[in-house]
Amino acid sequence: MKRELLDLLLAERAAKQAVVLVTELATGRQELIRPQQPDLASSLPELERAREVLRRDRCVILDEKEGRVFLQPFNPPLRLILVGAVHIAQALSRMATEAGYEVIIVDPRQAFAKAQHFEHATLSHDWPDAALHALAPDARTAIAALTHDPKLDEPALDAALRSEAFYVGALGSRRSHAARCRRLRERGLGAADLARVHGPIGLDIGALSPAEIAVSILAEITQTLRRERV
C-alpha cells in the first residue's frame, strides 16, 4: 500500500468513517471508496457493492471484467450505550467489551455510576437524552435502557429511536413495555418507531440472574447485528 493511501485510510479510521479498500489483484492498484461521501469517480455499482460489504462486515473477492477485485471493509467500531449503571450493566459491559464493543454507561445518578464498577466502560453522568445527543448513535451503535425508571429510560428511548442505532432494547415486563409504548407515542413516535424496540429485552432463554440476563441481551444484539447470517 502506498503511504499516501495508508495515511488517508488511517485518517478515515480516526474519524470513525466507514470505508472500503478496493484492490485489483492482478495489478495491485488500490483505492478507497467512501459510501457515505462518494466522490465523482465512484460509479453507482461500486457504491452499492461497497455498501453491501460494509453491511455484511466481511471481505469479498469479485470477478470483474477487468479481473478479480478484493474488497475489504473498514467499519467504525461497534458501540454499546447502556442507560442505567445497574447490576446487569456491570456484567453486560464486561461481556460486550470482550465481543469488541466500545461501552458507554449513561446514568446521571452518580451514586450508581462509579468507575470501580465499570472499569471497561466510559461513564457519562449526563441526562440520557443529552448524552445520546452528544454521542450521536450511528448504524454501528446498540442502545439498551436498563433502569426501569421511566424518567431515565424513556428520554433515552425517544432519542435512540430518532437515531440510526441498529439495536434498541428496554428492560421490563410486557405490561410495563406496553405502558412505555403508550407514553412514547405521546412523545410523537409512531408504530414503526416503537416496533424497533426489543422489549422485553433479550432472547427468551429463561435468564434469571443479572449475568444470565446480560447473556440474553448480548445474544439478541448479536443476532440483530448478524441477522443476515442467522
Residue written as grid cell 453486560: 92
- The pLDDT assigned to 175 comes to 93
Same domain for 176 and 87, yes or no, is yes
- pLDDT value of residue 229: 66
102 and 140 both lie in a single domain? yes
Domain extent at residue 29: 3-74
* Contact between 63 and 89 (Cβ < 8 Å): no
Residues 98 and 212 occupy one common structural domain:
yes
Q: Would you place residue 40 in the very low, low, confident or very high pLDDT band (cuts 50, 70, 90)?
A: very low
Over range 129-154, report the average pLDDT. Answer: 94
Hey, what's the cell of 18?
A: 466507514
Same structural domain, 42 and 139: no
pLDDT at 41 over 60: no
The reply to whether 10 and 35 lie within a common domain is yes
**Is there a single domain that holds both residue 83 and residue 67?**
no
pLDDT tens digit string along 62-116? 888 778 889 999 988 899 999 999 999 999 999 999 999 999 999 999 877 677 7
Of 54, 74, 94, the domain-final residue: 74
What integer pLDDT is reported at residue 118 of this predicted model? 87
Q: Are residues 58 and 88 in the same domain?
A: no
Please state the pTM of the whole predicted model. Answer: 0.82
Q: State the average pLDDT over residues 28-33.
A: 89
Separation CA 159–CA 62 (nearest Å): 39
Nearest residue to 104 via CA among 33, 112, 113, 45? 113
- Same domain, yes or no, for 166 and 65? no
Q: Using the 3D structure, point to which of 74, 90, 122 is the last residue of a domain.
A: 74
Of 74, 98, 126, the residue at which a domain comes to its end is 74
Per-residue confidence band for 58, with pLDDT thresholds at 50, 70 and 90: confident
DSSP state letter for 192: H
Query: Per residue in 171-207, pLDDT tens?
Result: 999 999 999 999 999 999 999 999 999 999 999 999 9
Between CA 227 and CA 117 the distance in angstroms is 32
Amino acid letter, residue 101 = Y
Residue 132's pLDDT is what? 96
Are both 102 and 64 inside the same structural domain? no
Q: What is the CATH number of the domain that holds 152?
A: 3.40.50.720
How far, in Å, are 39, 77, 85, 149, 210 from residue 55 at the CA level? 20, 13, 31, 34, 31
Give the model's pLDDT for residue 139.
87
pLDDT tier for residue 44 given thresholds of 50, 70 and 90:
low
Q: Tell whether 182 and 136 lie within a shared domain.
A: yes
Question: CA-CA distance, 225 to 230, in Å (whole number)?
Answer: 10
3-state secondary structure of 184: helix
Together in a domain, 43 and 128 = no
Position 163 confidence tier, pLDDT thresholds 50, 70, 90: very high
Q: Average pLDDT over the chain, rounded to whole?
A: 90
- What's the rounded Cα separation, in Å, for the pair 143 and 83? 8
Q: Is residue 86 located within the same domain as residue 61? A: no
Q: Say how many domains are in the chain.
A: 2
How far apart (Å, rounded) are the C-alpha atoms in residues 224 and 230? 9
Percent of the chain surpassing pLDDT 70: 94
Average pLDDT over every residue of 208-213: 96
